[in-house]
Amino acid sequence: MAFNPSMIACIDLLMKFPTDTLHQGIKLHRDADPELIDAAKRLHQIGAIDQPDGGYLTDLGHDLAEHAQILITALKSA
C-alpha cells in the first residue's frame, strides 16, 4: 500500500503538534490550507485529535505522531 495525498496531509499535520508535552495543541483557522483542514477532520474522526480543527493530541494521536517522527527520521537518514 502506498501513501496517498490525504495520508501525507495527516502525517504533515501530526508533525505540527508538539510531542514533548500533552499541554500544547494547535488551532487551524478557516483560511488554513484546505488539505490540512481535511486532515484535521480525518484525524478527529479516528480519535487522534480532540477537536475537528486541531486541539490536542489524544493518546492515539501522540502515538501516531511519535511513529511518524520515527518514520521521517529513518527516511531522512536513508
The model's pLDDT over 40-56, given as tens digits with 9 standing for 90+, comes to 999 999 999 999 999 99
What is the band of 18 on the pLDDT scale with cuts at 50, 70, 90?
Answer: confident
pLDDT of residue 22: 72
**Long-range contacts of 65-74, Cβ-Cβ distance < 8 Å, separation of 24 or more:** 65/14, 65/15, 65/17, 65/19, 66/19, 68/11, 68/14, 68/15, 69/15, 69/19, 71/11, 72/11, 72/15
pLDDT at 23 over 90: no
In the chain, where the domains are located: 5-77
Query: pTM of the full predicted structure?
Result: 0.89
| DSSP 8-state secondary structure symbol assigned to residue 46 | T
pLDDT at 24 over 90: no
**Residue 25: partners with Cβ closer than 8 Å, 6 or more residues away:** 17, 49, 50, 51, 54, 55, 56, 57
pLDDT of residue 19: 77
